[in-house]
Structure 1
Amino acid sequence: MEKAEIIAIAVVAVIAAAELFCLFICSKLRPECYPLCIAQPVTAQDKELRQRLEYIASFIESGSSFADTVLLIDIDGTQEQLQLCREFCNSYHAMELIKIADIEKHLKN
């Protein structure tokens, strides 16, 4: 074997060893991640609901959201607000529109 081939094999072996180390050791050292939920109330008085939903959606799109679920809780939302929430729920699967009476059932899951 030539010197270049030996160097290439050594480099590949080091990379493979690093990958195996990260796969088996580093993944075990990470702290536990617990699922979090964002609760956004939907009320008739909230005139900035669209901006709030777009702000939350920007975190979801960028992948920097630490929450697994976004609950949009219908307290007394208008039909336009509820339709807006449904559109966001269709676009972002992490968002869910629920009624205030269903909170306990949802949080138990």
Structure 2
Amino acid sequence: MQCTSAEFAKLRAANGIRRSSGRMGMCLDSALAEALNAALKRELLHGTGKRRWRDEFEARTDIFRWIARYNHHRRHSAIGNVPPGVYEDRLARMTALAA
């Protein structure tokens, strides 16, 4: 398994990334991260055909922009196919009306 290889462990440690602490074989532990990574690959890497960046800054900038769009503008099926900002605004208004 790639996630438990010695090389991957060294790379993780060198970049300050902690491993998940879930039990072995527990798929729910990493399902959200796997879904996010799949969307990133599908939409940013495969969707644009861009596979290489000139430097780390360009890669980080593109990924930051994608994450900002994913979190604030992209429609999410789990919340009624609206962007998270719209969903949170509606929830805040409904909460205020209920109070």
TM-score, structure 2 as length reference:
0.23
Q: Which structure shows the higher helix fraction?
A: 2
Bigger Rg, structure 1 or 2: 1
TM-score, structure 1 as length reference:
0.21
Q: Which structure shows the higher strand fraction?
A: 1
